[in-house]
Amino acid sequence: VYDGANTNLYVNTVAGTVGILTGTCTKLADLYISQASNDFAGYIDELRISDTARSANWISTTFETQDDPDAFMSWGGEQNVPTNPFISKHLICPDIIKKAKIR
């Protein structure tokens, strides 16, 4: 997360400060995932790039909803449709209809 001054890299919802940027981030700059001239040796399961600096809570919640969705959702029993549903034919504005000119 780059907030205009600091850059934080989150790994499994844990933030670690990578450094302070002295310049500005531009959309024209290349993105490298490595250290200087060294290649990255490992796996990247997911990488997100956004034009909005996200909060630690947002990052944690989006990670947890994918890592353990049952912790955020609960499934209830199936609901049945009534056999004799009630249907009403009330007019919302009967005065407007009375005054309307029907051709």
Q: Total domain count for the chain?
A: 1
Classify residue 46: in a domain, yes or no.
Answer: yes
Classify residue 94: in a domain, yes or no.
Answer: no
Classify residue 54: in a domain, yes or no.
Answer: yes
Distance CA 54, CA 3 (A): 9
Q: Who's near 40: CB < 8 A, 6+ residues apart?
A: 33, 34
- The string of pLDDT tens digits covering residues 39-91 is 777 787 778 878 788 898 998 888 888 888 888 778 788 888 777 766 666 65
Please tell me which residue, 9 or 21, carries the higher pLDDT value: 9
Q: What is the pLDDT of residue 96?
A: 58
Q: What is the pLDDT of residue 35?
A: 65
Classify residue 88: in a domain, yes or no.
Answer: no
Classify residue 66: in a domain, yes or no.
Answer: yes
Q: What is the pLDDT of residue 98?
A: 57
Classify residue 11: in a domain, yes or no.
Answer: yes
Expressed as residue numbers, the domain containing 46 is 6-71
Flag whether the pTM goes above 0.85: no
Q: Residue with structure tokens 């940027």?
A: 21
Classify residue 24: in a domain, yes or no.
Answer: yes
Classify residue 79: in a domain, yes or no.
Answer: no
